[in-house]
Amino acid sequence: MKNIDQLNIRIRGKAYLGRKLELGEDVDLRIKGSVVREETEDNQDGSVNICYIIHPMTVEDMHPPPPPTIQRSGPSMTAEEIDEMLGDKEPVDMKDIPF
């Protein structure tokens, strides 16, 4: 019996991630898949490397980046400015403005 020097996995295939990645970005993924093959490499020194080939079924992004923030330029409008902009329409009640 040979000693095992390295135990590795190789992920092959594809699964839906749900967002675009950037080159160089570090990602933390949880992968659920099936082991479909085992490859053994003899190191010629009495040890072997074993590599398991995994086909992913689902991939979950454990730390997705936060959604981008919306930056508004300039000061907010007052109720009077909104009323003036609307013209002859009913006055605006500030509690009805969603932001």
Asked, for residue 32, whether it belongs to a domain, the answer is yes
This prediction's pTM: 0.55
Overall domain count for the chain: 1
Question: 72 or 81: whose pLDDT is higher?
Answer: 81
- Is 78 a member of any domain? no
Q: Which residues contact 23 (CB under 8 A, 6 or more apart)?
A: none
For residue 29, give the 3-state DSSP assignment: strand
Q: Is the pLDDT of residue 12 over 90?
A: yes
Residue 99 has pLDDT above 70, yes or no: no
Asked, for residue 96, whether it belongs to a domain, the answer is no
Q: Assess if residue 91 is contained within a domain.
A: no
78's tokens: 């007052």
CA distance 4 to 1: 9
Question: pLDDT band at 98, cuts 50/70/90?
Answer: low
Is residue 72 included in any domain, yes or no? no
Whether 21 is covered by a domain: the verdict is yes
Question: Residue 36: which domain range?
Answer: 1-63
Q: Is residue 77 part of a domain?
A: no
The predicted-structure confidence for 14-61, as pLDDT tens digits, reads as follows 888 888 888 999 999 999 999 999 999 988 888 899 999 999 999 999
Domain presence at residue 18? yes
Share the mean pLDDT of the chain.
83
Q: What local confidence, expressed as pLDDT, does residue 6 receive?
A: 87
